[in-house]
Amino acid sequence: MAHGPAKGISRWLFTTNHKDIGTMYLWFSFAMFILGGAFAMIIRAELFQPGMQLVEPAFFNQMTTLHGLVMVFGAIMPSFVGLANWLIPMMIGAPDMALPRMNNWSFWILPPAFLMLASTLFMEGGAPAFGWTFYAPLSTTYAAPSVTFFIFSIHVLGLSSIMGSINIIATVMNMRAPGMTYMKMPLFVWTWLITAFLLVAVMPVLAGAVTMMLMDVHFGTSFFSAAGGGDPVLFQHIFWFFGHPEVYIIILPAFGVVSQIIPAFSRKPLFGYDSMVYATAAIAFLSFIVWAHHMYTVGMPVAGELFFMYATMLIAVPTGVKVFNWITTMWRGALSFETPMLFCIGFLVLFTIGGFTGLMLSIAPADFQYHDSYFVVAHFHYVMVAGAVFSMTAAVYFWLPKWCGKMYNETMGKTHFWISFIGFNITFFPQHFVGLAGMPRRIPDYSLQFADFNMMSSIGAFIYGASQIMFLYNVIATIVAGKPVSDDKVWDGAEGLEWTVATPAPYHTFETPPTIDPAHAHS
């Protein structure tokens, strides 16, 4: 029954093939990465010098809001869903995802959702300008009319995420090849399985929050307004009940990627596989009981502050276990430093720094000074960009040869890494300084003592942004005219079922399940 893809546009519109859908997710997320990046460039250009130069404060707020929303929901999350689509069936020896038609839907409702979100820029009153955390009542009573479209697009992309994660769970639980027990699954599959459970649990909470906003805006309820007996702070509790697990939704698949790549270029099995799985589960569990650490200054009772502080500090333990495991994997390996490995080492260094600042931020008394300052901005960009985006970039370089059967330009890849790494640090390292010195986040203009570091930050941002064009060029050049790869394994240290199929990966793989050596450890 093996047949190739349909021809023309209908191949992409109606496809139920996990590889096609994965490809679409990846390209879509890259487009969103460029769009969100463009917003960031506008922000950094305005902040290049003190004083208002390019945009008005109201538009600046729209930019920070859309930058956050597009990067979190449009770039990072869909990119990892794309990766999951491509890799999970191949890694567990399944012919496709469990629900191929739903898979098609969960992708195709995404572009209209983001088109709608982007279109708010051209609406009366402008796009949402209340930050990606959209705290009420700024996002309800005081929002521009476009908030209704914002709510609807959040609903749609939430639905897409839920469908995508149901599909991933159903695939992992039902479609594993015989002999592929849970504790033999590659760590990427494990981290995604846990991520998918988080998504199913918390995306409906986000949907609930925006539904309440919709009702407050249009139907006269007062969930978030004190006037009718509600409470604006309730919004923050609901939002962060979603929002904190969301942070791990973003980072756990990145952990998975790094856990695949570091062993490959260390030519040594992953150290502490079991503890990696347990640590991932522990992080997922803890993510549900730490949400209010985003709200230390909101006026919580001291007992609440202490509970959330202790619980948050505990997250350092499983996260530390992961970092130690990766480093021990490298220890006494035979290391080589191709582009994916460079990005993983970059991830290790910078994510650890982000973890340290995370630990600092978890300390409630100190957070009274850190909260809502640029220190926080620096922290979460170390985790989101150097964590999620670096590992995603590593993943593309690592698996691209398998996907398209051609090798990328290694020199350009390494150059991309170094420019990214240095550009990233010039951008975000000084933000620790200005934050500690007292610069609040989300301001379009700042006082003179912050000028030097902000200029540095902007220069770094332009460097980092430009380096992504090199990435795009390298990927396209590889697909169009890369040097063909004939080896199924591509990388000599790579392990796992996806490396056992032909290169490039055929349109259909594992239509008959592979046999898995029961003695062979996990891959």
Partner 1 sequence: MMRLHANPAIDTVIKLVTVAVAMFAFVFVVMVPLYDVLCDALGINGKTSGQAYTAVQAGVDESRQVKIQFVATNNDGMPWEFRPARTMMTVNPGASNETVFFASNPMPEAMVAQAIPSVSPARAAEYFHKTECFCFNQQPLDGRSSAEMPLQFIIDRDLPKDISTITLSYTLFDVTAMAGAVATR
Partner 2 sequence: MHGAIKKALAGGVVTALATAGSVALAASGGITMDDVNMSPGVTAVGQSIYDLHMWIFWICVVIGVVVFGVMFYSIFAHRKSKGAVPAQFHESTKVEIAWTVVPFLILIGIAIPATSTLLEIYDFDDAEMDILVTGYQWKWKYEYLTEDGENVSFFSNLSTSQTEIYNAEEKNEHYLLEVDEPVVIPVNTKVRFLVTANDVIHSWWVPELAVKKDAVPGFVNETATIAQKEGIYRGQCAELCGKDHGFMPIVVKVVSQEEYAEWIEGKQAEAAQVRELMAQTFTMDELMERGKAVYQRNCLACHGANGEGGVGTAIKGSAIATGELGGHLNTGVNGVPGTAMQAFGGIINDVEMAAVITYQRNAFGNNMGDMVQPIDVFNFKKG
Q: Which residue in 20, 46, 96, 305 is the catalytic one?
A: 96
Site string for partner 2, 441-460 (x = CB under 8 A): xxxxxxxxx-xxx-xx--xx
Distance CA 252, CA 243 (A): 14
35-43, 170-178, 326-334, 499-507 -> range binding partner 2 (CB under 8 A): 326-334
Q: In whole angstroms, how close is the CB of 414 to partner 2 at the nearest point?
A: 4
With binding defined as CB under 8 A, does residue 430 bind partner 2?
yes
Cα 466 to Cα 345, 398, 421, 461, 506, distances in angstroms = 21, 22, 12, 8, 34
483-484/406-407 β-pairing: antiparallel
Site string for partner 1, 152-191 (x = CB under 8 A): ----------x--xx--xxx-xxx----------------
Compute CA 11 distance to the chain's CA centroid, rounded to the nearest angstrom.
28
Residue 269: cis peptide before it, omega within 30 degrees of 0: no
Residue 504: cis peptide before it, omega within 30 degrees of 0: yes
Applying CB under 8 A, among 48, 372, 489, 508 the residue interacting with partner 2 is 372
Site for partner 2 in 191-230 (CB under 8 A): 225-227
* Residue 508 falls in the annotated catalytic set: no
Q: In whole angstroms, how close is the CB of 117 to partner 2 at the nearest point?
A: 19
Residue 318: cis peptide before it, omega within 30 degrees of 0: no
3 state SS of 484: strand
Q: In whole angstroms, how close is the CB of 76 to partner 2 at the nearest point?
A: 22
45-53, 204-212, 317-325, 512-520 -> range binding partner 1 (CB under 8 A): 204-212
Q: In whole angstroms, how close is the CB of 191 to partner 1 at the nearest point?
A: 18
To which residue do tokens 């959330």 refer? 308
Q: In whole angstroms, how close is the CB of 299 to partner 2 at the nearest point?
A: 4
With binding defined as CB under 8 A, does residue 356 bind partner 2?
yes
Site string for partner 2, 147-186 (x = CB under 8 A): ----------------------------------------
Site for partner 2 in 378-407 (CB under 8 A): none
With binding defined as CB under 8 A, does residue 54 bind partner 2?
no
Contact 376, 454 (CB under 8 A): no
Single out the residue of 390, 412, 410, 396 nearest to residue 346, CA to CA: 390
Residue type, 129: A
Distance CA 5, CA 21 (A): 12
Distance CA 128, CA 117 (A): 9
Contact 509, 89 (CB under 8 A): yes
Contact 509, 434 (CB under 8 A): no
Provide the 10 A C-beta neighbour count for residue 511.
Answer: 11
With binding defined as CB under 8 A, does residue 328 bind partner 2?
yes
Site for partner 1 in 95-114 (CB under 8 A): 98-101
- Residues ≥6 apart with Cβ < 8 Å to 477: 408, 409
Q: Which residue in 65, 139, 319, 373 is the catalytic one?
A: 319
68-76, 93-101, 428-436, 483-491 -> range binding partner 2 (CB under 8 A): 428-436
With binding defined as CB under 8 A, does residue 5 bind partner 1?
no
With binding defined as CB under 8 A, does residue 285 bind partner 2?
no
Any bridge partners for residue 484, and if so which?
Answer: 406
Active-site residue list: 67, 96, 132, 160-161, 244, 246, 248, 259, 293-294, 319, 322, 441
